Amino acid sequence: MQVDHKKHPTPEISVSIIITTYNTAALVEQAVASIEQTTEVSYEIIVIDNASLDDTEDRMSQFPSVRYIRLDRNHGFARANNLGALLARGKYLLLVNSDVILRTRGIDELINFAERHPKSRIWGARTLYPDLNLNPTYCWRRMTLWSVVLRTFGVSAVFRSIPFFNPETCNDPCRNEPFSVDIVTGCFLLIESRFWHDLRGFDPEFFFFGEDADLCLRAIAKGARPVIAPIDAAIHLGGASESQASKRTINMLAARIGLARRHFVPFQGRLVVALTRFGPLLRLAAQEIRAAKTGSSANLESARAVWRAKSYWWEGF
């Protein structure tokens, strides 16, 4: 799949909304329907289907304005979005997960915010859980050696609510003001089309997870200042498009090792990779001991599955 990075936007279309999906028919139907609340800015919707086995195609037929592309196989999140960007004609690209529901005027307000803050070049907005509480996964700080040490030895999990022990987590300093971040999560990410093509889009080596972090870090190196708008733009169901815990962990490990190789100086990168590899083994040992003591194996099979799949994640994306 080749991506033409020289495409130019069509002025009549303000934003091209790209949704990738894989076996999330009901969710993507809901996401597309919610986008139709957008009334102030011109838009197009492009749905890239990674060869779903469900009834996604049938459900999309009720939206004649949607450009629905069904791929021959699962190309992963990064490649699918790159293809969507190839087809896009808008001034901006808005990447939206299939498990996101847009709130009234969410896109209108985000585009207006981007027009007022053009130097940022990448924009995000707050996402909420279905109960309308804040879902903090809409942005992140970059991975550091310190954050990897804390994660490897389980400190971040034990002290989940303490920012010092979770330095990759964004803490919204004021819900009424924009604030800068390192990473806008790909579940709801707005970027200039021209800038996307300058960056050559997502690195297609990232199959699932990590592609948004890599893109934002490369963008920052080119002078971008990713920012979160003070807008409650969407409800993010969170994890609905990747529900199996062990599979999610496996992809996350591969992503983090890939990021370490690309965005750390060599010595630190090798250390981060070693720590990231050690983490699942440490977790497996802890779960084995816990199961032996308590008889509970609630998380043991998941830990074993992750370690058995090490040939997949060991070298990273």
Q: Which pLDDT tens digit goes with each residue over 65-81?
A: 999 999 999 999 999 99
What percentage of the chain exceeds 70 in pLDDT? 94
Residue 163 CA to residue 168 CA, distance in Å, equals 9
Mean pLDDT computed over 21-44: 94
Q: CA Rg, the chain, in Å?
A: 20
Report residue 155 CA to chain centroid gap: 24
Mean pLDDT computed over 111-123: 97
User: What residues does 134 pair with on adjacent strands?
Assistant: 128
pLDDT at 180: 94
Sign of CA dihedral 237, 240, 58, 47: positive
pLDDT of 173 higher than 80: no
- pTM for this prediction: 0.90
Residue 55 CA to residue 24 CA, distance in Å, equals 9
Assign 170 a pLDDT band (cuts: 50, 70, 90): confident
Q: Which helix (H) or strand (E) holds 114?
A: helix 106-116
123-168 tens-digit pLDDT: 999 999 999 998 889 999 999 999 999 999 999 999 988 989 999 9
Assign 207 a pLDDT band (cuts: 50, 70, 90): confident
Residue in the block written with tokens 């992809």? 251
